Structure 1
Amino acid sequence: MLYTRKQKIKFKHCDPAGIVFYPRYFEMINDTVEAWFDEALELSFATIHPDHGVPTGEIQTRFTAPSRLGDVLNISLEIQRIGTASLGLHLEAECEGEARFMTSLTLVYVDAQGKSEPWPDALRARILSDMEKNQ
């Protein structure tokens, strides 16, 4: 995978049964995407968001095993494709070699009114560079 970050499962992530409440995984997914933009692409969401955004247009997730309080997930992100205004990503989470979830999502680059527009040339070049590193 192209980019990996660790996520410790905290009490706030868990339901009364002591396992991750599934909507919390979507927060972790977004945290990973945001960290990737910040660290790998060197463009923080705070810089993008005054005039643009990168909302999720589609997401598909498969949960394969529960995560519990104290577990440390390794969440990996890989670029699948880049379109004119969209970006396909694949993320996987594992803990001690056991898969926890897999997700595919599409981000869309939008203006302040939420209308899609092409990726800026400099950002597209950074994304393409990251794609090439993985091949």
Structure 2
Amino acid sequence: MFVHRRDVQIQWGDCDPANIVYYPRYFAMFDDSTSIMFEAACFSKQDIINNYGLVGIPMVDTRAKFYIPSTHGDWITIETRVESIKRSSFEVTHKVFKGEALAIEAFETRVLVGRDPNDPSKLKSAPFPQEIIDRFMKG
């Protein structure tokens, strides 16, 4: 399985008045981490749009478990991986570590979408290109 890790320093604007990360900020970090993972696997958003005729990879479901809070100035590591791929959807997990400790587990379901050939004003799920499947499932 392809795994991408990145280090992130918590910024002042990420925190609420109690100086802990306001939870929606993590979901923005996870969205960035998914995009960065695709880029690290050599499939930037522009590549996906231009080479496969897709519009994007929107999130259709998400949830998270929070174990340890982070505060301004902390460094965290976000580990992102594709857990499974179906015809057009895929499951992503994000694990956030503070040092060696697991701080957060997050789960996403995303879908590849393109323009509906019968009505280009609408979006339609699109099948996963085999080379993307191969890259994510073989690492």
Q: TM-score range by the shorter chain?
A: 0.7 to 0.9
The reply on whether 1:101 has 2:110 as its aligned counterpart is no
**Greater strand proportion:** 2
| 1:65-104 mapped onto 2 (5 Å cutoff) | 65-104=68-107
Q: Distance in 1 between matches of 2:69 and 2:59?
A: 24
Deviating more after overlay: 43-52 vs 70-79: 43-52
The unaligned stretches of length 5 or more in structure 2 are 116-121
Q: Distance in 2 between matches of 1:55 and 1:121?
A: 19
Match of 1:28 in 2: 29
- Of 57, 61, 80, 1:58 maps to 61
The alignment covers a number of residue pairs equal to: 129
The unaligned stretches of length 5 or more in structure 1 are 131-135
RMSD: 1.7
Q: Distance in 2 between matches of 1:69 and 1:7?
A: 11
Q: For residue 120 of structure 1, what is the amino acid of its counterpart?
A: P
Q: Distance in 1 between matches of 2:94 and 2:8?
A: 13
Q: Percent identity?
A: 28
Match of 1:116 in 2: 125
Match of 1:133 in 2: none
Q: Which has the larger radius of gyration?
A: 2
Q: For residue 116 of structure 1, what is the amino acid of its counterpart?
A: S
Q: Distance in 2 between matches of 1:49 and 1:100?
A: 34
SS of 1:115's partner is strand
